[in-house]
C-alpha cells in the first residue's frame, strides 16, 4: 500500500477510479481536488483548506488528473513542475494551443496517459498472435460504438473516442500508415442530438486495419483479428478476465513502476495521436 494519492476532479469517471482504489486499498489516503473545494475522501472524509493542500502537493504523493479536458494542461503543468508520478486521462492534447504550451514544458520526459484499453490484458494476447503470424495476411477490426453517448457539437465523437483505437495501432505497430476514409455520416435527431459514424482503413504490408467509431450503433468495444479463415474476438468491455487483473489494476501498476513501464511513453507518442485526429478532422469538416 502506498501513502497518498491525489485525484483531480470528481465526475463519474473520477468516482469510478476512486471506488476501485478504495476497494483494492492501494493508498492509505486519497485526496480529491475540485474547482471550489478539496477534501480527503479516504480513509475518512475531511474538508481541507488550500494551505493543507499545498503541504500534500509538496510531499511525495502521486496523482491522477480526471478533471474536464479544458483543465488538463493546468494540472499537467503543475504535476510536472512538482516532479510527481501521475496519470492523466486522455486526451493529453486538446488543441493546437495545448500542443504549443505542452511542448515548452521542461521535465516532461515520460507521460502516463490513460488510454484504458492499452492496459487490457487482451492486448498482450493480440500482440502475441500478430508476432506468431508476421508473414500471413491479417485483417484487424477495431470497433467502438455506443447508442447511449449523445453529443451537441461536431467532431466531439472523434476527439473523445479516436484516441483509443489510435493508441492501440501506435502501440502495436509504432506508426500510422496513411489512412483512407471509408465512411462518414453525420445526422441530427430532433435537432438536438448529433450522431456521427466514422470508418477508417489503414494498410501495412500484409495487415489491413479497420476502425469503426459511432454513437448510432449499439454498444460494442471490440477487436477482431482475422488470419486466413480463423477469427479471434477480443471484447474490451470485459475489463476483468478470469485469469488476469483489471485494466485499472494494470494502469496503477504502471504508475508505481513509472520509470520502467512500457506504457509511459514520451511526448512524441501523444503528439502523433493528436496530429492523426487533426488530419481526419480536416477531411470531414
What are 183-205's pLDDT values in tens digits?
Answer: 999 888 766 788 899 999 999 98
Burial 151-160 (b: 16+ CB within 10 A, else e): eeeebebbbb
Query: Contact 144/221 with Cβ under 8 angstroms?
Result: yes
Cell 510536472 locates to 80
d(C-alpha 261, C-alpha 206), whole Å? 29
Please give the Cα distance from 233 to 258 (Å, whole number): 31
Residue 243 has a pLDDT of: 43
For the cut 50, the answer to whether the pLDDT of residue 241 exceeds it is no
SS3 at position 223 = strand
Q: Are 197 and 178 in contact (CB under 8 A)?
A: no
Question: Helix, strand, or coil here: 158?
Answer: helix
Residue of 256, 275, 238, 255 lying closest to 120 (CA atoms)? 238
Helix, strand, coil fractions of the chain, as percent rounded to 5: 40, 30, 30
Q: Which of 63-72, 76-85, 223-232, 235-244 has the lowest mean pLDDT?
A: 235-244
**pLDDT (mean) for 89-110:** 90
The total of other beta-carbon atoms located within 10 Å of residue 86's CB is: 22
Amino acid at each position: 500500500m502506498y501513502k497518498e494519492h491525489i485525484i483531480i476532479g470528481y465526475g463519474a469517471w473520477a468516482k469510478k477510479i476512486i471506488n476501485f482504489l478504495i476497494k483494492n486499498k492501494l493508498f492509505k489516503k486519497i485526496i480529491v481536488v475540485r474547482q471550489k473545494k478539496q477534501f480527503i475522501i479516504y480513509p475518512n472524509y475531511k474538508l481541507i483548506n488550500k494551505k493543507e493542500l499545498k503541504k500534500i502537493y509538496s510531499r511525495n504523493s502521486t496523482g491522477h488528473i480526471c478533471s474536464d479536458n479544458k483543465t488538463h494542461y493546468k494540472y499537467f503543468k503543475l504535476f510536472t513542475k512538482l516532479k510527481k508520478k501521475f496519470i492523466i486521462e486522455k486526451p493529453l492534447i486538446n488543441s493546437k494551443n495545448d500542443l504549443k504550451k505542452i511542448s515548452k514544458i521542461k521535465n516532461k520526459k515520460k507521460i502516463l496517459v490513460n488510454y484504458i484499453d492499452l492496459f487490457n490484458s487482451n492486448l498482450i494476447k493480440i500482440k502475441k498472435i500478430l508476432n506468431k503470424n508476421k508473414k500471413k495476411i491479417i485483417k484487424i477490426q477495431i470497433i467502438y460504438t455506443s447508442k447511449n453517448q449523445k453529443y451537441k457539437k461536431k467532431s466531439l465523437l472523434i476527439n473523445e473516442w479516436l484516441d483509443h483505437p489510435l493508441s492501440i495501432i501506435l502501440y502495436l505497430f509504432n506508426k500510422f500508415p496513411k489512412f483512407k476514409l471509408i465512411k462518414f455520416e453525420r445526422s441530427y435527431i430532433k435537432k438536438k442530438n448529433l450522431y456521427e459514424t466514422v470508418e477508417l482503413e489503414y494498410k501495412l504490408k500484409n495487415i489491413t486495419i479497420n476502425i469503426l467509431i459511432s454513437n448510432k450503433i449499439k454498444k460494442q468495444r471490440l477487436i477482431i483479428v482475422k488470419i486466413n479463415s480463423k477469427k479471434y474476438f477480443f471484447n474490451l468491455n470485459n475489463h476483468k478476465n478470469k485469469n488476469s487483473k483489471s485494466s485499472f489494476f494494470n494502469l496503477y501498476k504502471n504508475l508505481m513502476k513509472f520509470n520502467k513501464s512500457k506504457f509511459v511513453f514520451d511526448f512524441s507518442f501523444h503528439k502523433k495521436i493528436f496530429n492523426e485526429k487533426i488530419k481526419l478532422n480536416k477531411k470531414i469538416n
